[in-house]
């Protein structure tokens, strides 16, 4: 039964509509279906009680008008389902107002049917758009005027039922029908509100995940707080660049789908490693990967974490080859020092780093060797007590001349850093 009602109430609703329009279309159906149900119920009640309820009004006239109004409400559902929502609104309101005026005139003002005259004034606010102010005010005024007119005429219940249990039954029936109608409308609005809130929560969670994918958490918090521009000078960080060796021939040999899938699986694993070591991935540049440690004041041993990250990345490549996957080799470069960090862009935000430390880390990678992790002398000095390195080597770096560098071999016994769970 609930599923059938949901189908009826959902007629005319499409994914292309805005949430506000979907709510309006559903509410039109609720109003039409509720009015149809109430009219049917009261018609049956009056039919069972007999012609004496109507006084001088011929029963056939009452019955035929009720059937016409029921057909009008059914037509609203059909028209609304066909996408003619504005026409459905006008038909629903005019049918409802005419139905209530005649019903009150037929059975008498005193049995409670007149309470339904509040429905058009309420429904018009729910099923019209904000810009339809003329229609809204017209039906509000019409509902009040109809109630005032019937009250002035003072149509009473038929003498045959005045003061009897039948009069009480009609009052209760009308009140119950009005309450049922109001509950149906409020229930629909509450259901839509719950769905909207759930959709908003889901969207907020998604946007939060997306935001944290491109920005460090402490930067995202500052951005949400309204800080702009976001720019920091950080005295000491450690930057890692990694790049796939001979990627161009490999990308040409593989299909586009296979090449992208390969990079996706590899960089997804690198992202997991970065998160585990408490590091921040800054970006991927083609088949290159950039990660940094020390952006947050809470970061302590970021040089060791970056070293372990590089070693874990290299191990990942070895594991992939052992599993029979495509053999990949990478160069790794690490440098430590000050950077400028900040957020640029408005439509596509980008958190990036600038400075000599970044450039040096990039040079460490590009002037390195496959499967080797080349570090600067500064990084070496900070890690030499915990890690093993190759002998120093002199590398000609553009713009710097001869630079002393080292290859990171691995941690000394009992000195490794493990990713956090």
* Active site members: 363, 398
Contact call for residues 373 and 387 (beta carbons, < 8 A):
no
Three-state helix/strand/coil letters over 101-134: HHHHHHHCHHHCHHHHHHHHHHHHHHHCCCCCHH
CA gap 115, 38 in Å, rounded: 13
CA gap 195, 189 in Å, rounded: 10
Three-state helix/strand/coil letters over 308-344: HHHHHHHHHHHHHHHCCCCCCCEEEEEEEEEEEEEEE
Contact call for residues 363 and 241 (beta carbons, < 8 A):
no
Instruction: Classify burial at 347, counting beta carbons within 10 Å of its beta carbon; exposed 0-12, middle 13-18, buried 19 or more.
Output: exposed
- Positive/negative CA dihedral, 162, 165, 169, 171: positive
Contact call for residues 335 and 361 (beta carbons, < 8 A):
yes
């Amino acid at each position: 039964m609930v599923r059938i009602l949901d189908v009826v109430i959902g007629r005319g609703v499409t994914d292309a509509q805005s949430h506000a329009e979907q709510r309006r279309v559903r509410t039109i159906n609720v109003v039409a279906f509720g009015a149809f149900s109430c009219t049917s119920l009261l018609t049956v009640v009056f039919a069972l009680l007999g012609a004496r309820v109507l006084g001088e009004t011929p029963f056939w006239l009452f019955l035929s008008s009720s059937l016409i109004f029921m057909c009008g409400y059914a037509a609203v559902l059909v028209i609304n389902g066909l996408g003619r929502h504005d026409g459905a609104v006008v038909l629903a309101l005019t049918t409802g107002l005419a139905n209530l005026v005649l019903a009150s005139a037929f059975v008498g003002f005193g049995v409670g049917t007149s309470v339904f005259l509040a429905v058009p004034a309420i429904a018009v606010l729910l099923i019209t758009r904000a810009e339809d102010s003329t229609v809204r005010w017209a039906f509000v005024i019409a509902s009040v005027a109809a109630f005032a007119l019937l009250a002035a005429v003072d149509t009473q219940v038929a003498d045959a039922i005045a003061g009897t249990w039948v009069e009480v039954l009609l009052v209760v029936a009308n009140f119950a029908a009005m309450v049922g109608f109001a509950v149906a409308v409020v229930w629909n609005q509450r259901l839509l509100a719950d769905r909207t809130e759930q959709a908003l929560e889901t969207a907020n969670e998604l946007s939060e995940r997306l935001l944290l994918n491109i920005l460090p958490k402490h930067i995202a918090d500052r951005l949400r707080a309204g800080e702009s521009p976001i720019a920091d000078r950080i005295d000491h960080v450690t930057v890692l660049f990694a790049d796939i060796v001979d990627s161009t021939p490999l990308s040409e040999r593989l299909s586009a789908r296979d090449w992208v899938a390969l990079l996706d699986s590899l960089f997804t694993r690198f992202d997991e490693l970065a998160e585990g070591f408490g590091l921040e991935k800054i970006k991927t540049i083609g088949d290159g990967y950039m990660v940094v440690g020390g952006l947050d004041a809470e970061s302590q041993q970021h040089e060791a974490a970056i070293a372990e990250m590089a070693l874990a990345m290299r191990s990942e490549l070895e594991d992939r080859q052992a599993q029979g996957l495509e053999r990949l080799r990478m160069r790794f470069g690490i440098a430590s020092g000050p950077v400028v960090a900040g957020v640029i862009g408005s439509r596509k935000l980008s958190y990036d780093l600038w400075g000599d430390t970044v450039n040096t880390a990039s040079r460490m990678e590009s002037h390195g060797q496959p499967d080797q992790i080349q570090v600067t002398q500064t990084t070496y000095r900070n890690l030499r007590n915990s890690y093993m390195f190759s002998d120093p080597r002199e590398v000609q770096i553009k713009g710097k001349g001869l630079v002393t560098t080292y290859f990171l071999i691995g941690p000394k016994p009992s000195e490794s850093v493990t990713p956090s769970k």
